[in-house]
Every structure is written in C-alpha cells, then in structure tokens.
C-alpha cells in the first residue's frame, strides 16, 4: 500500500517541481531587460613583470614563487594567483631621441647609436619598432611600426633639430601610443636617448611617469649628456629608468649594451599576478623583496595606477 502511494506521489511531486521551475523561469523572463543586461566585471588583478639577479648581477635561475614577496602599498603579499616565465614575447619598441639644442654637440654620436640600435637589433618577425624625435615644442614621428626598413640616414637628415627639450611630453606621447595598442603578449619598451634636461614640456614629470606606468613599458634611458659630470639630467634619466623597471646606460656604452640589457631582461623576466589589495589611494607603490636570500635583487616598475572609473 505504502509503495503504491509512493508510486503515485513521486510523479506528482516531480510534475509540481518542474512547474515550480517553470514559474521561476517565467519570473526570470519577466524581469525588465535593463536589469538582465547589467554585467558586473571585477578584474581586480595586478600583473607585475620583474627581474631577479644574484649578488654577481646574474639572473637567478630556478626562481620559485616562495623566494620573493611583493610589497604593494605597504602590504606584504605572498599569495600569488600565478607565477610564470613569459614565453615567446613580441616587442613593441619606441625609440625616442632628443634633437634639441642641448644635445646638438653630441647629436652625431646619438644618431649613430640610434641607427645602430634599429638596424642591428635581432628583431623577431612580429616585433614593432617606431622612432620619434623630440625638440622644439613637441615630439615628431620619424617612422612608425616599420622602422626596421624605413629608418635610414636620409630620413634622419629631415628630422628638425634645435630648440627646447620637451622630454616629458615626448615620454607622455610614447607611453600613450603604447597603451593604445597594448596586448597581453606584447612587451612594450621605450629606448630614450636624451641628456635628461626637460625645458618646455606641458606635461609634468609625474604625469609622464603616470602614463608610462599605465603603459607597463620598461624605459631604457641612454644618457647622451657630458660624461663624468653629475647632472640633474642624469639623475632624471636614472629616475625614469628605475620607476619603470628599466635600466640607465651612458651613451659611451653604446647600442650593444642596450641590446644586451634588453635581451637579458627578455630571457630572465618573470610575471607574477595577485589580487588587487584594498587601498585608499589610486597609486599603488610596488616593490619585490626576497623571502630568504637577502643578496638577491628584484627589479620591477615602482608602482601602478588603479582607478575604479578607468580600465587600464
């Protein structure tokens, strides 16, 4: 008897249940379209490219994610979402060279190095290289994307020279270009040839660095100023390189040194991602420190800007 009741009740319950779901679906469908079309996106992840070197300044081989911690706006982060070695990176390089009055005594040497850099770099087939000059009041595009073939001595001859030094404006322009065409598997790099003395920019150093950090580009600064004389310009170039996680070199070290630096970095780069830590400010300072071997040095950009109203 009990079994018979169960046999009758079970299909009845099933039908009721299905009808119930039907009603629920019906209710869902009756929700206004605007409400259904509301998407909540929470991509709160920080991605840091960094380089680790030992006491002899050699890249640390076999680095593990337990070997370092990130300090993000003072918070120590050891819990990472991912830790990888970027594979097959394409380069998007912008070479910025100073053509203002202050560098004219060394302009020939500067141009030789820039030409050498562009022509002798071991470019990959998908790498992009653009060249911009800056002098007077703004940056001028010399060639864009295809400079491997189109950047020639003739082209350089047509570059306007002299005038003031809009260094920060030029950095701002280059960073904006890189941000516009940013793709996850492309490494943005800026090679900046200058004496570091800005004289006319509309953009401040802070704004130029904000744009640079947003573009995630490493800036390799090449000091074309007078060798052996400590200057504000040299300090500025050092600061730009350090802030962005790039490197500073003097022009006498030549284009070959820049190749070596960038290629070393390409081979030794690591990428770490972690959840965005809560903070009361837009700017997050970043630093990577060792968890056990204090002789290891970690280089990365010194911060990033997070704005809840801007996706970058």
Partner 1 sequence: MKRALSLIFLFCSLPGLLAAQIGVYQHGSVVRMHMGECIPAGHGFMVAFGGPSNSIGPESCPEYTLVSDNVVFVIVGKLSNSLIPLAQTIEFRFHKNELAVRVDDAKHETKFAIKEMMVRSEWDRLQRHIDEKMRASDDHEPEVRSR
Query: Closest distance between partner 1 and the C-beta of residue 42, in Å?
Result: 6
- Asked if 294 touches partner 1 (CB under 8 A), the answer is yes
Binding mask 46-65 for partner 1 (x = CB under 8 A): xx------------------
- Asked if 309 touches partner 1 (CB under 8 A), the answer is yes
- Asked if 75 touches partner 1 (CB under 8 A), the answer is yes
Instruction: Kindly tell me which residue out of 276, 283, 297, 302 binds partner 1, with binding defined by CB under 8 A.
Output: 276
3-state secondary structure of 94: strand
Region for 145 from its dihedrals, namely left if φ exceeds 0, alpha if ψ lies in -120 to 50, beta otherwise: left
Give me the sign of the Cα torsion angle 82, 88, 90, 95. Answer: positive
- Asked if 186 touches partner 1 (CB under 8 A), the answer is no
- Asked if 76 touches partner 1 (CB under 8 A), the answer is yes
Q: How many residues bind partner 1 (CB under 8 A)?
A: 32
- Asked if 304 touches partner 1 (CB under 8 A), the answer is yes
Instruction: Kindly tell me which residue out of 149, 153, 229, 278 binds partner 1, with binding defined by CB under 8 A.
Output: 278
- Nearest CA-CA partner of 49 in 168, 189, 181: 189
- Asked if 34 touches partner 1 (CB under 8 A), the answer is no
- Asked if 291 touches partner 1 (CB under 8 A), the answer is yes
For 294, phi and psi rounded to 5 degrees?
Answer: -75, -5
Instruction: Kindly tell me which residue out of 3, 30, 41, 281 binds partner 1, with binding defined by CB under 8 A.
Output: 41
Angle between helices 205-215 and 167-180 (to 10 degrees): 20
- Asked if 85 touches partner 1 (CB under 8 A), the answer is no
Query: Closest distance between partner 1 and the C-beta of residue 290, in Å?
Result: 6
C-alpha–C-alpha distance, residues 117 and 299, integer Å:
24
- Asked if 168 touches partner 1 (CB under 8 A), the answer is no
For 39, phi and psi rounded to 5 degrees?
Answer: -105, 135
Nearest to partner 1 of 80, 123 (CB atom): 80
User: In terms of C-beta distances under 8 Å and separation of at least 24 residues, what long-range contacts does 76-82 make, across chains too?
Assistant: 77/274, 77/277, 78/291, 79/274, 79/275, 80/272, 80/273, 80/274, 81/45, 81/273, 81/274, 81/275, 82/271, 82/272, 82/273
Nearest to partner 1 of 45, 55 (CB atom): 45
> On the CB side of 74, how many CA atoms lie within 13 Å of its CA?
4
Query: Closest distance between partner 1 and the C-beta of residue 289, in Å?
Result: 5
- Asked if 10 touches partner 1 (CB under 8 A), the answer is no
Nearest to partner 1 of 205, 305 (CB atom): 305
- For β-strands 138-143 and 186-194, DSSP reports them as unpaired
Query: Closest distance between partner 1 and the C-beta of residue 28, in Å?
Result: 21
Instruction: Kindly tell me which residue out of 2, 40, 108, 180 binds partner 1, with binding defined by CB under 8 A.
Output: 40
- For β-strands 90-98 and 128-135, DSSP reports them as parallel
Inter-residue contact 108 to 70 (CB < 8 Å): no
Where on the chain is the footprint of partner 1 (CB under 8 A)? 40-47, 68-69, 71, 74-76, 78, 276, 278-280, 289-294, 304, 306, 308-312
């Amino acid at each position: 008897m009990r079994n018979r009741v169960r046999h009758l009740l079970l299909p009845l319950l099933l039908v009721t249940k299905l009808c119930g779901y039907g009603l629920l679906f019906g209710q869902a469908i009756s929700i206004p379209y605007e409400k259904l079309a509301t998407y909540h996106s929470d991509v709160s992840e920080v991605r840091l490219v960094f380089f680790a070197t030992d006491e002899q300044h050699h890249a640390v081989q076999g680095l593990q994610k337990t070997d370092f911690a990130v300090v993000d706006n003072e918070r120590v982060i050891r819990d990472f979402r991912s830790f990888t070695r970027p594979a097959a990176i394409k380069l998007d390089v912008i070479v910025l060279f100073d053509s203002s009055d202050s560098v004219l005594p060394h302009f020939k040497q500067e141009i030789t190095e820039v030409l050498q850099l562009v022509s002798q770099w071991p470019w990959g087939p998908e790498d992009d290289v653009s060249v911009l000059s800056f002098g007077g009041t703004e940056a001028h595009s010399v060639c864009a994307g295809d400079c491997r073939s189109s950047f020639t001595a003739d082209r350089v001859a047509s570059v306007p020279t002299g005038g003031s030094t809009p260094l920060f404006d030029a950095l701002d322009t280059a960073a904006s270009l890189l941000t516009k065409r940013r793709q996850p598997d492309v490494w943005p790099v800026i090679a900046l040839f200058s004496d570091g003395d800005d004289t006319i920019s509309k953009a401040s150093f802070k704004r130029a660095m904000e744009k640079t950090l947003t573009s995630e580009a490493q800036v390799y600064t090449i000091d074309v100023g007078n060798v052996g004389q400590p200057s504000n310009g040299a300090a500025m170039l050092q600061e730009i390189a350090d802030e962005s996680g790039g490197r500073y070199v003097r022009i006498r070290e030549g284009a070959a040194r820049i190749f070596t630096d960038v290629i070393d970095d390409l081979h030794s780069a690591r990428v770490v991602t972690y959840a965005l830590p809560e903070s009361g400010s837009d700017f997050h300072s970043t630093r990577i420190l060792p968890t056990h071997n204090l002789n290891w040095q970690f280089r990365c950009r010194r911060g990033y800007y997070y704005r809840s109203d801007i996706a970058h």
